């Protein structure tokens, strides 16, 4: 009996030790999309519109064997629940550089040069999985949202989306497919997360995920030999310890049989090798590879009249803006961007709005909901903190309380920040008004050097504010 008890205790101890060891094993990181002002449907719409541009710039491969090789691979990967059920498409473009890219919402393009550089199916699948992960994690529109916090809510309200479609409207904010586009050129954190999610997709689809690490090692070695970045690393910044993090991720995945290799890559590479050279297309503004237009601008440029701030001045003739939240007058030479009942609208002259999302001369109006019982002072401070999060260069000055002509209590806060107009400081006057739901706000923006000319109009706008009581 004593021996049996000893054996039992040892067995229980072994089970507990194994359980403790399992609990101590690292677990895969929870990867999910971050902050985003775009809806998923807008991701899809944007991707379709940009895909049409891409197909005008690049020569899309017509060979069905090559297309089926990549399409079947991509669709196998996209069946994963991790891909989030976007309407993915997979096309091959005749381009010798080693690269691939995916647009928001799912259109994915693979260069023939990438296929030629791969040793097996899994290495091509590694890059496709990486690109699918960018789509699923919504990295492109996440970056665009963070870069255009003030202007996007009004634009995405729909009022300005006209014949140019969503992408035509976004171009007015400097969002496009230029060489430095926030939609395509990811940061290192986004690259790392796409590596990890792509590794998991590969394993689920039956492709050996170690080939992702091997392919990136191969490209890194090529960088060392050539002394310059491959196009893939130029548009996909290399995260620190990329290969090691992929290898560590693989260790946390369940054991699987990797049986997806088709054995066709040799045949596909021969077909690509025999393709006649095509003329290098000249990139068009706003498309991948373009140096100007879209996101490729080196600095802010006015979206409308490129003249100085005087062409953006408000006229003294006013018209009325009315929404469910409030009513007020605004200059008739300024335009409203966004649905009048949207949470926030931008009102400005085209000459006062800059590519890249900056407003140099204009106004922003909106309703900020109170987190608790409405309190003008507290809600104003919370709103100021929100604006400071949008613009880290925003400096807050003096505040004063007053009453509107309607009798509603209000606070005026003076702020400053760098102006998109060269050589100017921006003067910002934030007026917050008590509202049954929180605070209605009107942010008036002008170059400090022209505030004197704008002040009478700004005063008239403030005096005209009417809110529900």
Residue 401 lies in a domain: yes
126 and 208 in a single domain? The answer is yes
Model pLDDT for residues 109-139, shown as the tens digit of each residue: 999 999 999 999 999 999 999 999 999 999 9
Q: For the CA atoms of 306, 308, 310, 312, what is the dihedral angle to 10 degrees?
A: 40
150 pLDDT exceeds 90? no
Pick 195 or 295 by higher pLDDT: 195
Q: Phi/psi at 360 (nearest 5 deg)? A: -95, -25
Residue 68's domain comprises 40-273
Task: Give Cα 468 to chain centroid, integer Å.
Answer: 36
pTM of the model: 0.59
Residue 4 lies in a domain: no
Q: Phi/psi at 99 (nearest 5 deg)? A: -165, 170
Q: Which of 83, 119, 123, 78 is nearest to 100 (CA)?
A: 123
Model pLDDT for residues 341-398, shown as the tens digit of each residue: 556 788 888 788 775 557 889 999 988 888 778 899 999 999 998 888 778 789 999 9
Q: Residue 247: which residues within 8 A CB-CB, separation 6 or more?
A: 210, 213
What is residue 106's predicted lDDT score, i.e. its pLDDT?
97
pLDDT category at 279 given cuts 50, 70, 90 is low
Ramachandran quadrant class, 438 (left: phi over 0; alpha: psi -120 to 50; beta: rest): left
To which H or E segment does residue 364 belong? strand 362-369
pLDDT category at 26 given cuts 50, 70, 90 is low
269 and 314 in a single domain? The answer is no
Q: How many CA atoms lie within 13 A of 465 on its CB side?
A: 30
248 and 342 in a single domain? The answer is no
Residue 249 lies in a domain: yes
86 pLDDT exceeds 80? yes
166 and 268 in a single domain? The answer is yes
Do 293 and 176 contact (CB within 8 A), yes or no?
Answer: yes
Whole-number Å distance between alpha carbons of 311 and 94 = 46
Residue 421 lies in a domain: yes
257 and 321 in a single domain? The answer is no
Residue 176 lies in a domain: yes
Mean pLDDT across 330-337: 87
234 pLDDT exceeds 80? no
Question: Domains in the chain: how many in total?
Answer: 2
Residue 332 lies in a domain: yes
Q: Which of 467, 465, 438, 468 is nearest to 375 (CA)?
A: 438
């Amino acid at each position: 009996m004593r021996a049996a008890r000893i054996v039992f205790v040892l067995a229980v101890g072994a089970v507990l030790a194994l359980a403790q060891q399992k609990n101590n094993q690292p677990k895969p990181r929870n990867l999910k999309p971050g902050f985003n002002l775009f809806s998923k449907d807008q991701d899809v719409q944007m991707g379709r519109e940009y895909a049409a541009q891409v197909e005008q710039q690049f020569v899309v491969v017509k060979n069905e064997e090559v297309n089926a090789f990549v399409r079947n691979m991509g669709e196998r990967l996209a069946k994963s629940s991790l891909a989030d059920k976007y309407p993915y498409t997979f096309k091959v473009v005749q381009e010798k550089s080693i690269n691939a890219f995916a647009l928001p919402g799912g259109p994915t393009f693979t260069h023939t040069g990438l296929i030629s550089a791969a040793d097996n199916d899994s290495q091509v699948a590694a890059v496709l999985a990486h690109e699918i992960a960018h789509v699923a994690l919504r990295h492109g529109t996440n970056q665009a949202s963070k870069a255009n916090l003030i202007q996007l809510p009004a634009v995405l309200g729909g009022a300005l989306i006209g014949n140019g479609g969503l992408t035509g409207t976004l171009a007015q904010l400097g969002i496009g497919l230029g060489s430095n586009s926030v939609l395509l050129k990811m940061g290192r954190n986004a690259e790392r997360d796409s590596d990890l999610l792509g590794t998991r997709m590969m394993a689920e689809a039956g492709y050996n995920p170690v080939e992702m690490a091997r392919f990136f090692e191969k490209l890194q070695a090529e960088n060392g030999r050539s002394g310059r970045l491959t196009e893939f690393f130029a548009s996909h910044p290399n995260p620190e310890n990329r290969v090691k993090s992929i290898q560590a991720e693989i260790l946390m995945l369940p054991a699987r049989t990797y049986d997806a290799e088709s054995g066709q890559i040799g045949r596909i590479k021969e077909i690509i090798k025999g393709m006649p050279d095509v003329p290098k297309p000249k990139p068009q503004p706003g498309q991948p590879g373009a140096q100007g237009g879209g996101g490729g601008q080196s600095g802010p440029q006015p979206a409308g009249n490129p003249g100085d701030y005087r062409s953006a001045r408000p006229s003294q003739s006013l018209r009325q803006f009315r929404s469910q939240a409030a009513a007020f007058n605004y200059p008739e030479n300024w335009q409203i961007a966004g649905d009048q009942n949207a949470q926030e609208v931008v009102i400005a002259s085209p000459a006062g709005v800059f590519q890249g999302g900056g407003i140099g001369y204009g106004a922003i109006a909106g309703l900020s909901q109170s987190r608790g019982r409405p309190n003008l002072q507290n809600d104003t401070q919370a709103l100021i903190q929100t604006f400071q999060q949008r613009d880290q260069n925003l400096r807050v000055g003096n505040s004063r309380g007053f009453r509107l002509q309607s009798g509603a209590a209000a606070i005026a806060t003076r702020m400053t920040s760098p102006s998109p107009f060269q050589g100017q400081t921006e003067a910002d006057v934030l007026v917050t008004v008590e509202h049954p739901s929180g605070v209605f706000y009107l942010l008036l923006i002008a170059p400090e050097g022209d505030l004197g000319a704008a002040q009478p109009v700004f005063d008239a706008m403030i005096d005209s504010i009417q809110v529900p009581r």
